[in-house]
A and B are shown apart, each in its own frame.
Chain A
Amino acid sequence: MTPSAALAPAERALGLIGPDLTEKSLRLHLEGLSGIDAVGLEERAAALGTRSIKTTSKAWALDTIIRLVDLTTLEGADTDGKVRSLVAKAMNPDASDPTVPRVAAVCVYGDMVPTAVDALGSAHGDPDEGNISVAAVATAFPSGRASLAVKTLDTAEAVAAGADEIDMVIDRGAFLSGNYGLVFDQIVAVKEACRREDGSYAHLKVILETGELNTYDNVRRASWLAILAGGDFIKTSTGKVSPAATLPVTLLMLEVVRDWHRLTGERIGVKPAGGIRTSKDAIKYLVTVAETVGEEWLQPHLFRFGASSLLNDVLLQRQKLTTGRYSGPDYVTID
Chain B
Amino acid sequence: MTEIVKPHRFLDYAPAPESTSILHLKKSYGLFIDGEFVKGHGKPFLTVAPATEEKIAEIANANSKDVDTAVAAARRAYDRTWSKLSGADRGKYLFRIARLVQERARELAVAESIDNGKPIKESRDVDVPLVAAWFFYYAGWADKLDYAGLGPNPRALGVAAQVIPWNFPLLMLAWKIAPALAAGNTVVIKPAETTPLSSLILAEIFQQAELPAGVVNIITGAGDTGQALVNHPDVNKVAFTGSTAVGRAIAKSVAGSGKKLTLELGGKAANIVFDDAPIDQAVEGIVNGIFFNQGHVCCAGSRLLVQENVHDEVVDRLKLRLSTLRLGDPLDKNTDIGAINSREQLERIRELSDIGEREGAERWTAPCVIPDKGFWFAPTIFTNVSTSSTIAREEIFGPVLSVLTFRTPAEAIAKANNTPYGLSAGIWSEKGSRILAVADQLRAGVIWANTFNRFDPASPFGGYKESGYGREGGRHGLAAYLQGASW
A residues with a Cβ closer than 8 A to B are 34-37, 39-41, 43-44, 50-61, 63-64, 97, 99, 255, 286, 290-291, 295, 298, 321-323
Contact = CB atoms under 8 A, between A and B. Distances in A.
A57 B14 CA distance: 6
Given A35-B276, A40-B451, A59-B4, A295 B281 contact: no
Given A52-B334, A54-B15, A298-B10, 8 more contacts: A36-B278, A41-B281, A51-B333, A52-B333, A60-B5, A97-B1, A295-B10, A323-B1
A264 to B, nearest CB: 16
Shortest Cβ-Cβ A-B pairs, 5 listed: A40-B281, A52-B16, A52-B333, A37-B278, A37-B281
Contacts of A59: 2, 4-5
B334 A36 contact: no
A53 B7 CA distance: 12
A16 to B, nearest CB: 16
Interface of B: 1-2, 4-7, 9-16, 121, 125, 276-281, 284-285, 324, 333-334, 430, 450-451
B451 A39 contact: yes
Contacts of B285: 40
Contact of B4 (A40, A50, A63): A63
Contacts of A36: 278, 280-281
A291 B287 CA distance: 15
Contacts of B125: 50
30 contacts: A35-B276, A36-B281, A37-B278, A37-B430, A39-B450, A40-B280, A40-B285, A40-B451, A44-B281, A50-B121, A50-B333, A51-B333, A51-B334, A52-B334, A53-B14, A54-B13, A54-B14, A55-B14, A56-B7, A57-B7, A59-B4, A60-B5, A60-B7, A61-B10, A97-B1, A99-B4, A290-B11, A291-B324, A322-B2, A322-B4
B6 A60 contact: yes
A95 B256 CA distance: 83
Contacts of A295: 9-11
Contacts of A37: 278, 281, 430, 450
A43 B288 CA distance: 11
A56 B14 contact: yes
A64 B300 CA distance: 39
Contact of A286 (B7, B10, B276): B10
B278 A34 contact: yes
B272 to A, nearest CB: 15
A252 to B, nearest CB: 8
A56 B284 CA distance: 29
Contacts, number: 88
Contacts of A323: 1
Nearest to A295: B10
A56 B451 contact: no
Contacts of B280: 34, 36, 40-41, 44, 255
A110 to B, nearest CB: 35
Contacts of B1: 97, 99, 322-323
Contact of B2 (A64, A255, A321): A321
Nearest to A298: B10
Contacts of B276: 34-35
Contacts of A255: 280
Interface centre among B10, B324, B334 (most CB of A within 10 A): B10
Nearest to A44: B284
A41 B4 CA distance: 34
A291 B14 CA distance: 15
B479 to A, nearest CB: 31
A255 B278 CA distance: 12
A35 B451 CA distance: 15
A47 B9 CA distance: 21
A16 B334 CA distance: 38
A106 B157 CA distance: 73
B113 to A, nearest CB: 14
A171 B339 CA distance: 52
B30 to A, nearest CB: 36
Contacts of B2: 59, 321-322
A90 B214 CA distance: 69
A60 B281 contact: no
A191 B460 CA distance: 57
B16 A53 contact: yes
Contacts of B4: 59-60, 63, 99, 322
